């Protein structure tokens, strides 16, 4: 079974704090993704990575950065947390094959972040 784990299920931080969200996958997937999920807005892609040390901006990268130093680990960083970053954060991973493009994504359990 593919396993994607996230470091925390619930997190409460204060405005201005630096926040790290960690994601680890155990299936040797090339691709890893960070989404945020808000009611009525579905999943919005923040950043993704298709290889170690590679990253691409998604639809809403402002206020976030990412790090991928090892293939299995993808970190999302909120440099200075703000209240509008209160959300559910979902990490996902997938294989990528050039001939077929993006593949099924496997999701972690999510981190519900509250910024006070």
Residues in the chain: 116
What DSSP letter does each residue of 8-25 carry, written as one string? -SEEEE-TT--EEEEEEE
- Closer CB to other proteins, residue 16 or residue 102? 102
Q: Min. distance of Cβ 107 from other proteins in angstroms?
A: 4
**Binding residues vs other proteins (CB under 8 A):** 35, 40-43, 90, 92, 100-102, 104-110
Is 91 within 8 Å of 4 (Cβ atoms)?
Answer: yes
Q: Min. distance of Cβ 100 from other proteins in angstroms?
A: 7
- Closer CB to other proteins, residue 42 or residue 69? 42
Closest by alpha carbon to 18, among 87, 76, 60?
A: 76
Q: Min. distance of Cβ 105 from other proteins in angstroms?
A: 7
- Closer CB to other proteins, residue 69 or residue 98? 98
In the sheet with 19-25, reading across from the earlier edge strand, the strands are: 4-6, 19-25, 73-78, 64-70
Q: List phi, psi (to 5°) of 85.
A: -100, 5
Q: Min. distance of Cβ 18 from other proteins in angstroms?
A: 25
- Closer CB to other proteins, residue 50 or residue 72? 50
């Amino acid at each position: 079974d593919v396993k994607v784990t996230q470091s925390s299920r619930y997190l409460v931080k204060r405005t201005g704090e630096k926040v790290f969200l960690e994601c680890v996958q155990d299936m040797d997937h090339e691709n890893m993704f960070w989404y945020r999920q808000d009611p009525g807005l579905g999943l919005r892609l923040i950043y993704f990575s298709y290889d170690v040390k590679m990253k691409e901006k998604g639809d809403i990268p402002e206020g976030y950065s990412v790090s991928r130093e090892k293939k299995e680990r993808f970190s999302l960083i909120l440099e200075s947390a703000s209240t509008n970053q209160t959300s559910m954060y979902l990490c996902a991973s997938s294989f990528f094959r050039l001939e077929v493009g993006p593949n099924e994504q496997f999701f972690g359990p999510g981190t519900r972040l509250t910024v006070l």
